[in-house]
Structure 1
Amino acid sequence: MPLEPEQQPNSSLPFATSLQLAVGQASEKGRKSQNEDAIGIRIPSGVSLMTKGIVSVISDGVSTAEGGAQASAISVSNFLADYYSTPESWSVQTSSAKVLTALNRWLYGLGQDYRDARRGFVCTFSALVFKSCTVHMLHVGDSRIYRFRRGELTQLSHDHSTKINASHQYLTRALGMDVKLDVDYKALSVEQDDLYLLTTDGIHDQFTEFELQQKLTTFCQLHPQLSDSLCEQFCQLLISKAYDLGSKDNLSAQLLFVEQLPKQAIDDVYLSLSQRPFPPPLSVGMKLDGYTVTHIIHQSQRSQVYRVVNGQDQAFCMKTPSVNYIDDAAYIERFMLESWIGQRINSTHVVKVVEQHKPKSALYYLTEYLSGVSLAQWLVQHKRAPVEEVLLLLKQIELGVRAFHRRETLHQDLKPDNIFITRDGVVKIIDFGSCFIKGVAEISTPLTRDHILGTADYTAPEVILGYQADGRADLFSLAVIAYEMLTGELPFNAKLAKCNTRQAFLRLEYVNAHQLNPMVPTWIDAALKKALNNEPNLRQADTCELIHQLTTASANQRPQHFVPFMSRNPVRFWQITSIVLFLALMTSLLV
């Protein structure tokens, strides 16, 4: 399969795109009647080079499966296409896992069309994804991935096969073999001048690891700086030598040489980030790029938000960075990422970032203009709102949070000030300033980024303590908001913001919401208490489960209907009734 370059528009992301590889590959059928191997390399440009990386894939169709050749071809071509179709905010591991799971089920389903299991669609799969300064390895089967660094060869993959005897072995794992797929995944740091070699068993079965190391050493000594053509030449040499040694299988190899990594000095990064000037503080009546300021909505030390209208009298919100941070590269990077992630989240319950079709003269971005109140204002106006009304609002907030999580993005600053309720009753999350984007976090940068960006009263303990956070951190924040909406008070007697050690968090005591608002049912209290646990693994699995528990009474907490004693135990009822009547009759006779 030929190399597939990709043309994309220039990225607005503030990262270096200087990752460069020299690559080569070759595949031949050898002594077999057809070539059941498949190979492919995709080198994108622009934004995809940063967010998705360079991908190399090799696959060997299982000979005993009649659909082996088709399986390998499908796995390579579809992975190269589908991986680049996943959201840019997703991490390499998430993107590849989603694609491989779908591929495996497809191949397994194709194999089930035959009565004879040996006629299935089964193949090995090995891939490398070079993203920024990291290489991500995906592997299942007995194709191999090697790394050659400073004269030493290391096998990175593990063969998923079992030997029966000296001449026979069988695969224990492969694509299409089972409905459930277990793929080896590793993320390894990359160094300049690294070499990565991918081979099918038709080649590596003919050489010892030492022999492969010697061949690479000799070749690198003859060619200190490798090019695409030289990498391909080495692959052809391996194929020819393996064939001469008597290989009876298909022969495929790929060689990738790391020419340049995207490392920049801090001055270079700042120069890239500061290409657009900061706009000055604006006042009512001033114009910027054809937008006229009509109101100043918000001003703080970190940013300004204005209501603006264009020439067609359409209203928008304009957010501009604060000139206080004009020399802060990390701040500028985060501000640019706000609009980037906002454009990639499409939800009724997340404010929409407006795409502009004309060049900007300064650093700012636009969102839709919303008419209504913030949740913070709503809380002031609704000290004891009905539980049903609170739950309806919480459901909408959760849908917005879920939209972030589906893009593998944590909001990290959920609080009433960042949630808006329109006049139509639609709830929208309106801020992206503290988001953690998993796919972007994999891109290296010399900048020192802030890790704690949220508001302490609403931030999960693991974030404050500097641990790795996931979606359950936003779940914790959502539970704090729910507690405040139901009771008018912050949980833990508002002591959460004062905690900065594990011991301090452990000393917090949950105050039942029912004590502050008797209208809160016990099952809601139980759900909130669980969501506000210090340990993330003791909370609900996700925000969807939290909302389900808040809105659904459990069996042991649901009010029970009264069942008369006569219906529950009629024999005992009539026995007791007879005794009472007998005693009453005897008493009347004695009197």
Structure 2
Amino acid sequence: MTQQLKVSVGQYSDKGRKEINQDFYGFYKPPEPQLSTKGIAFAMADGISSSDVSQIASETAVKCFLDDYFCTSDAWSVRHSAHRVLAATNSWLHTQSNNSQFRFDKDKGYVCTLSAMVFKSTTAHIFHVGDTRIYRLQNNALEQLTKDHRLWVSQDKSYLSRALGTGTELELDYQLMPLNCGDIFILATDGVYEHTDARCIISAIKQNSNNLNDAAKIIVKTAFDQGSPDNLTLQIIRVDSLPQLNTNELHQQIDELPFPHILEAREQFDGYTILREVHATSRSHVYLAQDSETNAQVIIKTPSIDLRNDPKYLERFLMEEWIARRINNAHVLKAGLQTRKRNFIYTVTEFIEGQTLTQWLIDNPQPDLETIRGIVEQIARGLRALHRMEILHQDLKPDNIMIDSSGTVKIIDFGSARVAGIVEASVDGEYNDILGTALYTAPEYFLGEGGSQRSDLYSLAVITYHMISREFPYGTQVAKARTAASQRRLSYHSVLDDERETPAWVDETLRKALHPNPYKRYEELSEFLYDLRQPNKAFLSKTRPPLIERSPVAFWQSTSLILSIIIVILLIK
């Protein structure tokens, strides 16, 4: 049986010697499949004593984090999801203060500290702002994992230098660390940790290992007895088991469903009528089918018979539909409607009546530059939709671009895609295989490095270059350059020649987008698209002739004026 992530949690909070409790805390463990794709979340917030509304900030921060984090896309990484949620919470708290009588005194507004953790797969993700603390108990020693954001102005006086709600921008500490069975994490407000010591905490947890709530209560009571004047809140989290295998929905399909047989035309299959085979390769079998309920035509893809024992292949195979369900963009392949239970492993996507970009280039061997720009811009819109979800395509090429009968361009085939959220959920780590087609694959992949959005930009630039010239910017040399030194020796072949009317600035745009070093390419797709339509200012400055060539008269007039001024100054002296 596949082992899941399991934790034991103990927690306790008390207002202590104050009139109200401005602390707030909580955790949420979702059922599968979210347990694997999003993990378990914990959060603790501490209001500031100078504010009468800080308890509202604390409660809002914790509730929003625990609620909204699990509403973010499971394609997003933990860091991206949490930061988006906390940034939105920070903005709301700051706005509340600005719209109230506290707008001129932030210390009395909607402000709080926050420490939060997400356990996903075998990794702990830690988010922190303020002076609430997170500790790890390991090998009978207590280690503080967070840094207090407190500025001391004297030996006994300090104030928070960072907190939720103090400004429009949120500066958040983030770190991650591997989880081990038996690890214990402790979240505590300053009312607890300033009035207890490690020995007390370790002893209470050891003596109450079967009831961590009792351990938390004992530690809080000890801090109170030691004279703590503040609210007191504590959470204790123990890791009881870690996942040994992936338990996400892709693997559940692989484990639970059988493989289909080779399908034939007119055959009834899982509520579909097979119309014809579109193509069959060593990677998959693709069929045009009609949904018996809706009469809509769809594409059904079944896994290769030869690769059915390869779990990585099967995960990538199912990834196409998984991604297509999470992207809603006119330039990205859509998944078919899933209205009934499936009895086999296969994928269903929309049927695009059209042709691949490869075939389109055969039919249109010399497209004009404006047509090329139009196609590239549509591909870029689809790529942006993927990148917003932290998805890299990693195999962008003309065969994976479709142009339908209306001229709409769509990105297809996500079998090589890298999804940040899925990579995080994998206990096996991410795959370092080169999954794309060599001629269109960014050079950094051949160094064994991970890809980035600039890697997809490189592939798009290769497609652009190939549409203009029918050649490739470095020939076949990129795949052979397996060291940084050899990649520095790669020589870009200009797209300009005597037979094509291509502006020189377009060549410079492609040269930059196709640089072997990803950090010397464009940072954003929008920059690349902009420079495809008008000359970059840097290019104009570089290619602009000197003044003596553009206007000799103006040059000598300026020179004469400067010399005259110098002579006058010398005569005066």
Task: Provide TM-score, normalisation by structure 1.
Answer: 0.87
Shift of the 474–271 alpha-carbon distance from structure 1 to 2, 3 Å rule, reads: closer
Q: Tell me by how many angstroms 1:493 deviates.
A: 3.0
Shift of the 517–463 alpha-carbon distance from structure 1 to 2, 3 Å rule, reads: farther
Question: Cα deviations across residues 446-484 of structure 1 (Å, max 9, x unaligned)?
Answer: 488452111010000111211122111101100000101
Work out the percentage of aligned pairs sharing the same amino acid: 38
Letter of the 2:21 partner, please give it: N
1:522–1:557 Cα contact (<8 Å) kept: no
Q: Tell me by how many angstroms 1:279 deviates.
A: 1.5
Secondary structure, aligned partner of 1:523: helix
Shift of the 109–216 alpha-carbon distance from structure 1 to 2, 3 Å rule, reads: same
- In structure 2, the partner of 1:116 is 104
Question: Cα deviations across residues 295-345 of structure 1 (Å, max 9, x unaligned)?
Answer: 222211111111111325421111110010121122122222222122111
Q: Tell me by how many angstroms 1:48 deviates.
A: 1.6
Within the alignment, does 1:74 sit opposite 2:55 as a pair?
A: no
- In structure 2, the partner of 1:4 is none
Q: Tell me by how many angstroms 1:72 deviates.
A: 1.2
2:201–2:219 Cα contact (<8 Å) kept: no
Letter of the 1:358 partner, please give it: R
Distance in 1 of aligned mates of 2:376 and 2:459: 12
- In structure 1, the partner of 2:122 is 133
- In structure 2, the partner of 1:102 is 88
Q: Tell me by how many angstroms 1:503 deviates.
A: 3.2
Q: Tell me by how many angstroms 1:178 deviates.
A: 2.1
User: What are the residue-to-residue correspondences of 1:335-350 with 2, within 5 Å?
Assistant: 335-350=317-332
Q: Tell me by how many angstroms 1:265 deviates.
A: 9.8
Secondary structure, aligned partner of 2:358: helix
Question: Cα deviations across residues 90-141 of structure 1 (Å, max 9, x unaligned)?
Answer: 0011011111112112222222233431322211110011111101000111
Mean Cα deviation higher: 536-545 or 418-427: 536-545
- In structure 1, the partner of 2:145 is 156
Question: Cα deviations across residues 43-98 of structure 1 (Å, max 9, x unaligned)?
Answer: 11112211111111111111123432221111111111111111110001101111
Distance in 2 of aligned mates of 1:69 and 1:290: 55
- In structure 1, the partner of 2:11 is 25
Distance in 2 of aligned mates of 1:469 and 1:432: 15
Q: Tell me by how many angstroms 1:215 deviates.
A: 3.0
Distance in 2 of aligned mates of 1:517 and 1:65: 74
Mean Cα deviation higher: 306-315 or 121-130: 306-315
- In structure 2, the partner of 1:167 is 156
- In structure 1, the partner of 2:218 is 237
Within the alignment, does 1:368 sit opposite 2:350 as a pair?
A: yes
Within the alignment, does 1:406 sit opposite 2:394 as a pair?
A: no
2:505–2:539 Cα contact (<8 Å) kept: yes
Letter of the 2:213 partner, please give it: E
Letter of the 1:172 partner, please give it: S
Within the alignment, does 1:189 sit opposite 2:171 as a pair?
A: no
Question: Cα deviations across residues 248-270 of structure 1 (Å, max 9, x unaligned)?
Answer: 1111111111111111499xx98
- In structure 2, the partner of 1:257 is 238
Distance in 2 of aligned mates of 1:82 and 1:553: 44
- In structure 1, the partner of 2:368 is 386
Question: Cα deviations across residues 472-521 of structure 1 (Å, max 9, x unaligned)?
Answer: 11011000001011112121234334433333322221122122763222
Distance in 1 of aligned mates of 2:498 and 2:521: 23
Q: Tell me by how many angstroms 1:168 deviates.
A: 2.1
Within the alignment, does 1:493 sit opposite 2:479 as a pair?
A: no
Q: Which runs of 5+ in 2 are unaligned?
A: 545-549, 558-573
Distance in 2 of aligned mates of 1:549 and 1:178: 36
Distance in 2 of aligned mates of 1:28 and 1:363: 53
Question: Cα deviations across residues 521-563 of structure 1 (Å, max 9, x unaligned)?
Answer: 2222111111111111111112222112212323466799xxx
CA RMSD of aligned residues (A): 2.5
Distance in 2 of aligned mates of 1:501 and 1:410: 23
User: What are the residue-to-residue correspondences of 1:34-53 with 2, within 5 Å?
Assistant: 34-53=20-39
Question: Cα deviations across residues 363-415 of structure 1 (Å, max 9, x unaligned)?
Answer: 10111111111001111122221100000011100011111101101000000
Secondary structure, aligned partner of 2:112: coil
- Rg larger in 1 or in 2? 1
Shift of the 496–556 alpha-carbon distance from structure 1 to 2, 3 Å rule, reads: closer
- In structure 1, the partner of 2:563 is none
| 2:377 equivalent among 386, 395, 408 | 395
- In structure 2, the partner of 1:7 is none
Secondary structure, aligned partner of 2:507: helix
Q: Tell me by how many angstroms 1:247 deviates.
A: 0.6
Tell me how many residue pairs correspond in the alignment.
542
Letter of the 1:488 partner, please give it: R
Shift of the 517–144 alpha-carbon distance from structure 1 to 2, 3 Å rule, reads: farther
| 1:56 equivalent among 42, 48, 55 | 42
Question: Cα deviations across residues 160-212 of structure 1 (Å, max 9, x unaligned)?
Answer: 112233432211111112222211101110011111100000010112xxx32
Within the alignment, does 1:443 sit opposite 2:425 as a pair?
A: yes
Q: Tell me by how many angstroms 1:21 deviates.
A: 0.9
Within the alignment, does 1:297 sit opposite 2:278 as a pair?
A: yes
Secondary structure, aligned partner of 1:38: strand
1:37–1:69 Cα contact (<8 Å) kept: yes
Distance in 2 of aligned mates of 1:220 and 1:75: 28
Distance in 2 of aligned mates of 1:474 and 1:170: 46
Mean Cα deviation higher: 344-353 or 489-498: 489-498
Letter of the 1:116 partner, please give it: F
- In structure 2, the partner of 1:201 is 190
Task: Provide TM-score, normalisation by structure 2.
Answer: 0.89
Within the alignment, does 1:457 sit opposite 2:439 as a pair?
A: yes
Question: Runs in 1 of length 4+ with deviation above 6 angstroms?
Answer: 269-272
Secondary structure, aligned partner of 1:138: strand
- In structure 1, the partner of 2:72 is 86
